[in-house]
Amino acid sequence: MKKQNAKPKVQKEKFSWNLMWKQRYLLLMSVPFVIWLIVFKYIPLWGWTMAFQEVKPNSFALPIWERKFVGFDNFIQAFTDRLFPQTMINTIGISILGIAIGTISSIFFALVLNEICFTRFKKITQTVSYLPHFVSWVIIASIAKMLLNDGGAVDTMLNTKLHLMSTNSALFWVVVCLINVWKEMGWDAIIYLSAMAGIDQGLYEAAKVDGANRFQRIWNITLPSIKPTVIVLLIMSVGGALNVGMERQMLLSNGIVQDHAMVLSWFAYVRGIGSNNYGLGTAIGMFQSVVGIILLFIANKIAGMLGESKLV
């Protein structure tokens, strides 16, 4: 006898030229991005061969097969460098703080904007919050130093010496992350606002009928609805944890806090281009990319095991 509760088989749509023809416009729209991806992301991977070679200015013009092969010597030299342990600590610390503070602040800001009833005021606030994203880090760093350096505007107004930008401690990480949050919070909130715009308004109306206040509607409807978006963005952020840009650290730091400002990308620049050892710089960059891919898969796997949304 056949089982009564047998699950029906789901037939997957087979690949066919007819299906591609139906989606030809979507495929054509993706062609420029695929070309950009191949030219700027995949073809440069050929340069990873420099990580296993001795590449100095006098040998840089030589073909790849004529350069001296050194195996993993560049990786060993990078890992045994006196700056590497502190650089890893700085990179991980700034990444964790940046992900935590940045995610929370962006979600909070998106919730506040979503609850504003005055459309005109909401649009003006949203537009103003985007503007710092388009401002160069050179300008941002100049403003921050004028405000936070010893004897700056903050010290003058508070009549104190906070030493926020010249303290040889992890406090520099917090200052850098807060400045980055001010710069990127409005821009990062866009995707959360988009997710909130897709929530069924009938859920809010039903909650109002049941007597739920505004906080309860946010906690029980808005946050659970955008949870998949938050999880996916967190997974992507974890994958890029080691790719902390050196611009903000380089521009905001000084000789006193440089030990707490050095990150892997800056370390690769100093030891690679600064020391004319392109193989060593490539090895550090390759280490960043490989570890980032591993972290991405681990975070994605953990999210799947917890029953949350994941990338694939």
The domains of the chain are located at 74-305
Judged by DSSP in three states, 196 sits in helix
Predicted pLDDT of residue 145: 80
Read off the DSSP letter of residue 50: G
pLDDT band at 158 (very low <50, low <70, confident <90, very high): low
Percent of the chain residues past pLDDT 70, beyond the cut: 86
The mean pLDDT value of the chain amounts to 84
Which amino acid makes up residue 67? R
Task: Tell me which CATH homologous superfamily contains domain 74-305.
Answer: MetI-like (1.10.3720.10)
| Cα four-point dihedral sign 9, 10, 14, 18 | positive
pLDDT (mean) for 153-168? 61
- Which ranges of 131-275 does DSSP label H, i.e. alpha helix? 137-148, 153-158, 171-197, 201-209, 214-217, 223-239, 246-252, 258-261, 264-268
pLDDT at 160 over 80: no
pLDDT (mean) for 209-223? 90
Predicted pLDDT of residue 88: 92
pLDDT (mean) for 200-214? 89
pLDDT (mean) for 27-33? 92
pLDDT band at 10 (very low <50, low <70, confident <90, very high): very low
C-alpha to C-alpha distance for 224 and 214, rounded to whole angstroms:
15
Predicted pLDDT of residue 157: 65
pLDDT band at 111 (very low <50, low <70, confident <90, very high): very high
Name which of 310, 309, 297 is nearest 238 in CA terms: 297
Q: What is the pLDDT of residues 233-289, one digit of tens each?
A: 998 898 888 888 888 888 888 777 888 888 999 999 988 888 888 888 899 989 998
More confident residue, 10 or 158: 158
> Nearest 5°: phi and psi at 69?
-85, 125
| DSSP-assigned states of every residue in 169-194 | STHHHHHHHHHHHHHHHHHHHHHHHH
C-alpha to C-alpha distance for 244 and 181, rounded to whole angstroms:
14
pLDDT (mean) for 163-177? 72
pLDDT at 144 over 60: yes
Judged by DSSP in three states, 68 sits in strand
What residues contact residue 59 under an 8 Å CB cut-off, 6+ apart?
Answer: 67, 68
pLDDT band at 45 (very low <50, low <70, confident <90, very high): confident
pLDDT at 2 over 50: no
Could you tell me how far CA 160 lies from the centroid of its own chain? 35
Predicted pLDDT of residue 166: 58
C-alpha to C-alpha distance for 207 and 200, rounded to whole angstroms:
12
Place of tokens 């490989």: 290
